Structure formats: C-alpha cells, structure tokens
Chains A and B, each alone.
Chain A
Amino acid sequence: MNKVEASMAGTVWKVLVSEGDVVDSGQDVIILESMKMEIPLSAEIDGKVSKIMVNEGDFVAEGDVLLELVGM
C-alpha cells in the first residue's frame, strides 16, 4: 500500500484518476492549488488506485492522505 499525501496546505484543484485506475510511478494523480500555484502530486509506485479520500474543491492540510494505491 502506498499513499499520496498533500505536500502543503491548499485546495484540491483536480483529481486526475478514478478508483480502480491503474497508474504508473511518476504519473500525476492529483493537482493541489495553493497560493495561486498548481502543485501536481504523482504516484510513487506502479499500482492501482484503491481509494480516493478527497473531492475537487476540498481544503486539505499538509500531510493529509489524499489517495491510496495498491502495488501491482
């Protein structure tokens, strides 16, 4: 299991994947928006998106888990 966490406080601007999607390591999965800057967050492993904890527009704090991946 692998988690994608918010690198800083901000708003979830885009969720680029859905639960069940297969993603590659390095692929952008969520884009945060903080202080007018878009911050892409990528998967650290090849795997399947098992759970998405946030919706677009949600406000998140630094370190919040946004998405979970299961390694393939």
Chain B
Amino acid sequence: MIQKLLIANRGEIASRIIRTCREQGIQTVAVYSQADLEMPFVKMADESYLIGEPPVAKSYLQMDTIIDVAKKVCADAVHPGYGLLSENATFAQKVLDAGLIWVGPKPSVIAQMGDKVTARQVMIEANVPVVPGSGEIVTWEEAVHIANQIGYPVLLKASAGGGGVGMVLCHSDKQLEQHFATTQKRAGMYFGSSAVFLEKFLERSRHIEVQVLADQHGNALHLFERECSVQRRNQKIIEESLSPSISQEAREKLYQTALQAVHAVGYYGAGTVEFLVDQQENCYFIEMNTRLQVEHPVTESITGLDLVSWQLAIAEEKALPWKQTDLQPQGHAIEYRLYAEDPVTFFPSPGKIEVFSLPEGAGIRFDAGVEAGNTITPFYDPMIAKCIISGSSREEVLTRSRETFSQMKIEGIKCNLPLLVELLDHPDFVSGKYDTTILANRKGK
C-alpha cells in the first residue's frame, strides 16, 4: 500500500494528484523550484521541499536530488505527472533502484516508446499501421526517390527536432530540392544533428487518441477516445470525448489497434495511444504516451473513474476489476486549456495574475495550477489551468461552456480565453466536423 507519495512535478498536475491522495488518506510530498514557492501545489502538499533554481535542468530534472528527498522523508512511491521526468526511463529505473514504487510502466517500455524510430518498428511488427515514412536520408536524390514512393505531399523533418521546428511541407520534387539542403543545415544548427527524414503528410487529418488502462496481470482496457485536433504549434488546446466526427466502425478499429499496441509492448499503467485519422478514416499510430495525459479529465468525466487513483492501484499491483463491456461512456465532455499567451500571436505572456476568478457549478471542473497573486515565470509551460465542461450531450456542453467563459475573469496576463470563446462560435467546431487545420484556417490568421 502506498502511504506517502512524492510528486516529481509542479503546477496543476501536482495539485491534481494531491487531491486524489487526500481523498485516499495518502500523505503527499511536493518538490519545488525557487520560482514556484508561492504556487498552490507547494501549500497543498503535506510536506514541501525546495530542490533548486528556477530552470528545470537545475530543479525539476534533478533526478538524484528528487530521489534523495523521497528517501529522506520515507516516501514509498513517486508519481511523475506529465512532461518533465515522466517519460524518462533512467529516472524510472533510479526510483525503482532506490526501493520505491514507480507510478508508471516498466522503464524498458518507457525507453522503447520514447524512441520514435524504435516505437515505429515495434508497431510495424505488431501489425499496427504507422504513417508511411523513411529512415534517415542523406542526399536529396535519395529524398526524391523515397518521396515518389510514399507520394506527395511529404513532410521533411529533422530527426532530432520537435514541436514543428525544422519541419517543411513539400508538394513536389522541385520543392523538395529547394528545401532539402537548407533543412539539413537548419537541423544541424538548431539540434546539433543534420539528420533528416520524410513522412507522408496526411491532409486534413484528425488527431485522435485512445486512453488505456492496463494492470500488471495482463488485463488491458480502453477508456474510449479523445479528439485532440484543435492545436496550435502542434500543441493541443481543446480535447473532447467522444470524438464528434468519426464513425462507430473507425472508433472500434481505434480501440482494437490501441489494445494491440498495449499488448505488443507489455504495457501497464495509464497510457495513451495517439493516432492520425485521415479523411478515409484510415488510422495511423503516431506515438504512445507512457504516462498520465494532460487531458485525462475528459475521460474521467465520461467514465466516472479517477485515473490517478487507478494509476496508484496498478502501481500497487492490484488487478482491474472490470470487463470491457462493463465500461460505457456517459454523456460528453470537453477540456479547454488556458494558456498564458497572446490569443493572436500565441506568444507566451509571463507576468503577475491580478485577477483569477472562475465560476463554479454542475458540469464545471477547473484543474488550476495558479491563483490570484501568483507570478507566471518564463521558466515553464504556459498552461495555467484546464477547464473541463461535461453534460448529457455535446450541445449541452457547448452551451455550458459559453456560459462558463462569460463568467470567467483573468487579468494581469494575456490569456487565450478570447480564442476559446471565438472557437465556440466557429461553425466547424460547433458542428464537430473539424480537423487539425481548424486554427490555421481561422479568419485573420
């Protein structure tokens, strides 16, 4: 039994994990950087320890310091949250080596899924479809040859890149030739490696993921899908469950493919299998997130389950008590991420939050990491809170969302609330027939 849990994370997710622990009578230990002294999670935890300076490399990524705190305070388990060290196999192994419970899958599975090339290979072997693409490419002749095999349009990507940096869309041999050398050079300059590869670009695709829950006894269940196509800079802004746009047939295929992936790697814990779904409803595996997802509350809303609680139970080697058919989705839920950023340029907006007033009511859940008076520093992710609205139907959720947003007050920093309000009147969002281009195509952009 876990009696004292150290949370190796910060912000809203640390607060979220503490809430479940309080309900279960589990003691909580927070670790924090100098920049986070005033943050709610530091005050909420039963014990809090300063572990370093504001940059993550000097605090939240200091594995040995964090494990030393866990040992000193006699914690028996470590929950990594999302981001930071949550998908770091070395950290997971160090936690286990220190005799502590790691709230997550086996370190070898984290490593396997964390390496994009290996993950792809494992999925191909398990008959899970992946986006057609190439290995590393050195010459542009080679690139043109492969591009013609896969078929245009293609994305030319830096192997070491991420978040859309060092990525170019090419529609023809001519464009590929134009961009090849500069992309290699940019990759070298930005990421220290000039390795590039090609991937088929799926036009007007949707980003849909399946939540899974698997125990250490070989039982694996899916908890339905989340539609995550509203993105900016390849980062999600809105997630909903169920997806309003796919057929029941495609939905079933996603669930089965996700469970195939889970069994292929011997996964246990809460996890997410991410797919791209094209216009013909072909599903392609993109990656597996071996941790709790930011948008997990959407799934909690439609299943009534507390995913953090089940993560802890699985870590304690308990068995999942249900059959797949025992789980039925109830109603609809949408999560909106609130970012401290300019709603038009998407540039981050650090500063002091003067007013932070959130409405309460049935079907309204806020998972916030900040409160009025806090200063948003430039050191961490700009997400300050998540707003999760649930109801019996998608229409009800949209109406409730509009009411909720009209009562929210956030002052002192720029925030993306106006963008969320605008999206609630976007015809494609309202109809549910949207894809990953919804934000790129909005007016004035």
A residues whose Cβ falls under 8 Å from a Cβ of B: 7-11, 14, 16, 31, 34-39, 59
Contact = CB atoms under 8 A, between A and B. Distances in A.
Contacts of A10: 378
B235 to A, nearest CB: 9
A11 B347 contact: no
A7 B349 CA distance: 11
B425 interface: no
B190 interface: yes
A43 to B, nearest CB: 15
Contacts of A7: 347
12 contacts: A10-B378, A14-B189, A34-B378, A35-B341, A35-B348, A35-B378, A35-B381, A35-B382, A36-B380, A37-B347, A38-B163, A39-B347
Nearest to B340: A35
B144 interface: no
A36 B189 contact: no
Contacts of A35: 340-341, 348, 350, 376, 378-382
B165 A38 contact: yes
B137 to A, nearest CB: 24
A8 B55 contact: no
Q: Contact residue range for chain B?
A: 10 to 19
Given A16-B189, A35-B348, A37-B233, A11 B378 contact: yes
Given A8-B378, A9-B378, A10-B378, A37 B189 contact: no
Q: Which of A9, A11, A37, A59 lies at the interface centre, i.e. has the most chain B CB atoms within 10 A of its CB? A: A37
A19 B381 CA distance: 32
Give the 8 A-B residue pairs with the shortest CB-CB distance, closest first.
A35-B348, A35-B382, A34-B378, A9-B378, A10-B378, A36-B381, A34-B348, A37-B348
Q: Which of A9, A10, A36, A39 lies at the interface centre, i.e. has the most chain B CB atoms within 10 A of its CB? A: A36
Nearest to A39: B347
Q: Which of B163, B348, B376 lies at the interface centre, i.e. has the most chain A CB atoms within 10 A of its CB? A: B348
Given A34-B378, A35-B340, A9 B190 contact: no
B362 to A, nearest CB: 33
Given A37-B233, A38-B165, 20 more contacts: A8-B347, A8-B348, A8-B350, A9-B378, A14-B189, A14-B190, A31-B190, A34-B348, A34-B350, A35-B340, A35-B350, A35-B378, A35-B380, A35-B381, A36-B380, A36-B381, A37-B347, A37-B348, A39-B347, A59-B55
A8 B433 CA distance: 37
Given A11-B55, A16-B189, A31-B190, A36 B382 contact: yes
A38 B158 CA distance: 15
A14 B350 CA distance: 21
Q: Which of A7, A11, A35 lies at the interface centre, i.e. has the most chain B CB atoms within 10 A of its CB? A: A35
A36 B340 CA distance: 12
Interface string B330-343: 00000000001100
Interface in B65-85: none
B394 to A, nearest CB: 31
